[in-house]
Amino acid sequence: MKTTAYRRDDEGWILTTTLVVLAAAGLIAAGPTLCIAPVLILVMIGMAYFMNQSAHASLLRSAKQVTPQTNPPLYALVKDCQDRLDPGAVNVFVVPSRQLNAYTFGFSQPRAVVLYSSLLQVMDEDELKFIIGHEMGHVALGHTWWNTLLGGMAGVPVGMGAAVLLSFAFRWWNRACEYSSDRAGLLACGNPAKAITALVKLVAREADTPQEVAMVLQALDRQDDSLGNVLAETMASHPMLIKRIKAIKEYSRSAEFGNLLQQVRR
């Protein structure tokens, strides 16, 4: 099985477009100092790399790594997701927080997946597998590496117009990555309904019953009816939640998902 077979088809060309925009903006901004543009880019990438390393070191001091000794049940879930998705070397950490969130970062191995402790109180096992699998999808698909690289390149000083264009292109790619990683989360948990309730709980943590979930979904479904929300999404790193849910439903009905799910279960 190709471990990245679940990647969205449009993610590659959106990344290519983002790289072209970044390169063009860099050349325009450089102007007469074109010869030092590569140096500026390397400096920004280097700064991004060292910031990642610093964040990882800080994480080791403040968070608890998930191991067979520190949290055997959660480690079993993590190991199952790793076996299914094969993301490479990944360390999973839990940080105390009342927020419901998770993220991943890292320029080199092992990458870090960070879970906020409230997730363990609100999510059941399948929902946690979706969250963990989503973050491991970012790792397996190279999003963490590219995010550091593009973030560093985007930090090169440019004019206001170029900065807006850079941000637009970068966020466009970020949103495409979220759709691909949702597919990874779906493969990790193997249950579309649990993938959806996991996303619902991120915004409505008390939504436990089918009736409560249905009410939240109705509220979310009205989001893309607002022009303001649609415009705000163009500069957001994540798509609207209702769009992600609709994409999960569509992908879960595809033959591709069925074939991949059979393979990861083996």
Average pLDDT over residues 83-91: 92
Instruction: Note the pLDDT of residue 223.
Output: 80
15 pLDDT exceeds 70? yes
73 pLDDT exceeds 80? yes
Of 157, 160, 173, the C-alpha closest to 40 is 157
Which segments of 40-186 are extended strands (E)? Answer: 64-65, 90-95, 102-105, 111-116
> Model confidence at 161, in pLDDT bands (50, 70, 90)?
low
pTM score, two decimals?
Answer: 0.86
Mean pLDDT of the chain: 84
The residue count for the chain: 266
Of 128, 111, 100, the C-alpha closest to 204 is 100
Which segments of 6-89 are extended strands (E)? Answer: 64-65
**For residues 246 and 219, what is the distance between their CA atoms, to the nearest angstrom?**
14
Q: What is the pLDDT of residues 213-257, one digit of tens each?
A: 889 888 888 887 778 888 888 888 899 999 999 999 999 999 999
